[in-house]
Chains A and B, each alone.
Chain A
């Protein structure tokens, strides 16, 4: 059948879980290289771009898809089901982007319960108007036969905790260069060891950053809206929390290059287990206690607490993309 794709080319699937669509945009951002990709691979399944149904995938033989790029978080029971289905049907199953790799932004909700998430979204948010106080659920009492929707999972896990992941592509979203280089590696002959992060660097972002690093002695943290960063000087040296030191390179240090601190979307560098902990450890080491040494203990504590006023959202700063994959993972009940 013609609509099953051209049988000669290996099949590519790009699927989204709890996703913003940015990873698909990142793929489209390949630009004309997308045509070259289409020459080599058969875009078989990609709900964002193609009209093909789940059953088309279910009908395939196991391992019929050469490469699946799974992006977005596993937020619903449907996401879990699709992850397992695509895993089964794919020879290479790849966590594509920060959400699939380590939970991403959606995993910040791991600090809350699904119930309180629904309450916030449908009842308590200041912009919500919901006079009937109806909170959507997974089944509808208004239809016969009853309709059901996928349920929210209790917390978000990294894709690798749901299905066996062969490789990971980092980024929120991954830069086109990262995507292109990852696909080149994954469709090439020499595959790296299973579990590797592909398409990005191994060292921290600082390696690609042209800002000059100097003495780090932070008397306070400067929030992003409080100061215009000085050109050419390391943002962290200026008191701006830049996650570059604890973040994998490969993006070309785009954000610091544009006066914006790195927010850590490429996840931890090679060999670092917990990105947030690494950054907290590093920052704790360069805070300058200054004249604190002679103060009474209570005042010391108050002064050090005051230092952290510049970081009102610890989880969102240090674990913005990596909470699900970190040692913390989620709030304990």
Chain B
């Protein structure tokens, strides 16, 4: 074996702190070291070229570079190896700058330390094997789960770049929550008007042919890995053919009504009806449980009313299962308000006139159950509205985090109430106000003169009680006089949407301790999930506003373009875990500990690591009690040889 060593002095950074001559002599005496060349700046263009020439001429079996941190220049020197026709993994770098020269005060000790590290590297590099980067073809199509702002933004960005997208939405409506809001903070734009152009683009614009929208649909299963998932989707029958033009004659004719879930039960809808006026796609849906036919009646009023013919309406449409092949998945399932009945002192559901924020949004909305007319429980115009902030947020007994969106929409409510009822007073009952961003401060000025702020202390410091004349008394723990209001709006903490845990299980991707999807890195990589090929956008990873959701959708699309560029093959780094089937007894330790869900037990009971999912972290190799897993480039033999070399 012939080992070549390059010793970089990094100008003076290494040369002044290590006796390079002595080091070179010591390295030259190590077994199998054919030569040791001392170089000024190995990373300079001229020296890299010279290095390439040396490697070509000498053709060493293994190469050691003693220089800076491999994090800085390992890729550089691996590139030189490749150019010179050598396998890049036959290189071992030794960090004699950051880990020796810069931190060791005496030259003699630094030199001895560098000698030991080099002895380790020379012992180790002998055990290196040439490794190959593998390539597989990736499916460019993308699944987007959730048709709210984050999901539609991701779908549009991807389709804009030519990708085919499958958009799966659980409800009958796309656009998420904002299409149900009259105005949106901080700009007080009309929510449906703001989103309509985007939704139109998805539904019938130039991107529509690349985006398959499946409403009333849920992901039921997924197999595969980054670049190649097969996803099964259960689609509940809408009861209405795609040919429907949304004229609404069926709804007008339908004799059955029930509480409308899209208005949180504040209004009603027919058994066959639109979720709410202006909902997109512009198609009614049939709620079979409400339909008279569920009670055995032979009703066919809707069929008879349809201008397109009776077959446009379909009774007893079953759940169909469709299967789609995708290379990446964007999870954009959002959040929802925590159930307000968890706060007994607020007596939600008991005292008339106490609403949650989403209910209040619907009451203010012109597409809502009252057509936007706001009245007290007694039918009068409200004279006073109280808004209780932080219901369950910043509350160790419920959610310790700030939900981030409530202050802004609470002030928006104040603005809407002030503009509709100039005489009404607004009472913000709050603990902290959180209004970051460009438009935040301006919101405070939107409430007008009759806007009042009352601070309370403890998370459970507010209680509500029925007052005289159908009014509501708000009592706080500051001991001030109670506020009397006609309407009280609660701002519940934002929690992960229902079904989040189930979806996480389907995609085998972890949730954080709060139940939100866990990002690859909470600060530097929030658009990627922990599992390769899974991307996160919007409030499924953290409560956020519409801007953040839109940005998240764009970011997820960008990450997909970066990770899985269309037409390119996926590179699989050889620095990944491989199981030795001869040694594996299938104990399953690796399966449980792999943070990327790359390790799995295959049918014969042995563990296998999916190289596409593996990040090469080495957890499984360290955890395997049977020593059956090794990581390429970091084999047990190489590490032990390095240790022996250092300690010899």
Is the C-beta of B85 less than 8 angstroms from some C-beta in chain A?
Answer: no
Closest to A208 in B: B585
Name the contact of A272 in the complex, choosing from B588, B593, B622, B626 (C-beta under 8 A). Answer: B626
Q: A203-B626, A294-B513 are in contact. Are A285 and B587 (CB under 8 A)?
A: no
- The residue among A206, A234, A284 with the most chain B CB atoms within 10 A of its own CB is A206
User: Taking the complex as formed, is A278 at the interface, i.e. its CB lies under 8 A from any CB of chain B?
Assistant: yes
Q: Which residue of A lies closest to B590 (CB)?
A: A285
Contact B589 A285 (CB under 8 A): yes
Report if A234-B588 is in contact (Cβ < 8 Å); known contacts: A202-B583, A269-B583, A294-B513: yes
Judge whether A245 and B592 touch: CB under 8 Å: no
Residues in B whose Cβ lies below 8 Å from that of A272: 625-627
The interface residues of chain A lying within 8 Å CB-to-CB of B582 are: 202-203
* 1/0 contact string of B567-588 vs chain A (CB within 8 Å): 0000000000000001111111
Across the interface, B588 reaches (CB within 8 A) one of A214, A279, A284, namely A214
Complex Cα distance, B636 from A273, in Å, reads: 10
Given contacts A246-B626, A269-B627, A278-B625, are A293 and B583 in contact (CB under 8 A)?
Answer: no
CA distance A249 to B584 in the complex (A): 11
Against A, the Cβ 8 Å flags (1 = close, 0 = not) of B372-408 are 0000000000000000000000000000100000000
Instruction: List chain A residues, Cβ under 8 A from B589.
Output: 216, 245, 282, 285-286
Is the CB–CB distance between B625 and A282 below 8 Å? yes
CA distance A132 to B636 in the complex (A): 56
Least Cβ–Cβ distance between B1 and chain A, in angstroms: 23
Q: Find out whether the CB atom of A281 lies under 8 angstroms from the CB atom of B622.
A: yes
Give Cα A203 to B640, complex, Å: 21
**Cβ 8 A contact of A204, one of B400, B513, B585, B640:** B585
Determine whether the beta carbon of B592 is less than 8 Å from that of A285: yes
**Is B619 part of the contact surface with A, judged by Cβ < 8 Å?**
yes
A294 to B593, CA, bound (A): 20
Q: Which residue of A lies closest to B586 (CB)?
A: A206
Cβ–Cβ contact B625 & A203, under 8 A: no
Q: Which residues of B contact A203 (CB under 8 A)?
A: 582-585, 626, 628
Task: Establish whether residues B583 and A217, one from each chain, have CB atoms under 8 Å apart when the complex forms.
Answer: no
Please determine whether B586 and A207 come into contact, CB atoms closer than 8 angstroms. yes
Say whether A205 faces chain B, with CB atoms less than 8 Å apart: yes
Residues B622 and A285 in contact, CB atoms below 8 Å apart: yes
A207 to B592, alpha carbons, bound, how many Å?
18
- Residues of chain A within 8 A (CB-CB) of B585 are 203-208, 244-245, 249, 269
In the assembled complex, the Cα of A290 lies from the Cα of B511 at a distance in Å of 11
Is A285's CB under 8 angstroms from B623's CB? yes
Q: Is A236 an interface residue (CB 8 A)?
A: yes
Q: Among residues 614 to 648 in chain B, which have CB atoms less than 8 Å away from a CB atom of chain A?
A: 619, 622-628, 636, 640
CB of B623 within 8 A of CB of A282, answer: yes
Contact at A286–B593, with CB atoms within 8 Å? yes
In the assembled complex, B601 has its CB within 8 A of some CB on chain A: yes
Contact indicator B624/A213 (Cβ below 8 Å): no
CB distance from B638 to the nearest CB of A (A): 14
Listed residue (A215, A281, A291) with the most chain B CB atoms within 10 angstroms of its CB: A281
Q: How far is the CA of A290 from the CA of B515 in the complex (A)?
A: 11
Per-residue B-contact encoding for A125-143, CB less than 8 Å = 1, 0 else: 0000000000000000000
Q: Among A206, A217, A268, A281, point to the contact of B587 (Cβ < 8 A).
A: A206
Task: Please name the 7 residue pairs, one residue from A and one from B, whose CB atoms are nearest each other, closest first.
Answer: A246-B625, A216-B592, A207-B585, A285-B623, A285-B593, A245-B625, A204-B585
Query: Residues of A with Cβ closer than 8 Å to B?
Result: 202-208, 213-217, 234, 236-237, 244-246, 249, 268-273, 278-279, 281-282, 284-286, 290-294
Can you give 18 contacting A-B residue pairs, CB < 8 Å?
Answer: A204-B587, A205-B585, A206-B587, A206-B626, A207-B585, A213-B587, A216-B589, A244-B585, A245-B626, A272-B625, A272-B626, A272-B627, A278-B627, A281-B623, A284-B623, A286-B589, A286-B623, A294-B513
